[in-house]
Amino acid sequence: MPSETCHCIVLRQASRKVSSYYDEALAPLGVNIGQFSLLRNINRLEPVSLTELAGKVELDRSTVGRNTKVLERMGLVAIGHGEDQREAMLTLTEKGRGLLAKGAPLWDSVQENIEVRLGPEKTKQLLELLREL
């Protein structure tokens, strides 16, 4: 007999709850977890094309493009062109690097709080289960 619980709904609820922990911690910096995550990925890969970044974060290129435009308006990301003038290349600005430095301990504290709440074994199990999906 199929389960009465919708796995998708339970995962979405958990995702929203966990995202809210990060958003609350990052709020003093004026960014949310999605924006902070994009900044971290740009920092790791820069200079990075919009297409490559979209592939890395597993989001649609147009979604990543809209979000990076917001980060550009905030002064956190510079959007230039690569060898192919049609391809947008992303780098962090000094302001973006500063925000990452200020945000890292906030992000770390949320990570630690989640791990304390779950304990090491459940944290490990959760990550293993989610990676299997």
Rounded to whole angstroms, the Cα distance separating 111 from 104 reads 10
pTM over 0.75: yes
Closest CA to 110 of 9, 7, 37: 37
Half-sphere exposure of 6 (CA within 13 A, CB side): 4
Are the CB atoms for 33 and 40 separated by under 8 Å?
no
Residue 40 CB burial class (10 angstroms; 0-12, 13-18, ≥19)? middle
26-55: pLDDT as tens digits: 999 999 999 999 999 999 999 999 999 999
For each of the domains in the chain, give its residue range(s) and CATH number, in order of start: 7-132 (1.10.10.10)
Please state the rounded mean pLDDT for residues 94-122. Answer: 96
Distances (CA, A) of 63 to 13, 15, 60, 109: 22, 19, 5, 28
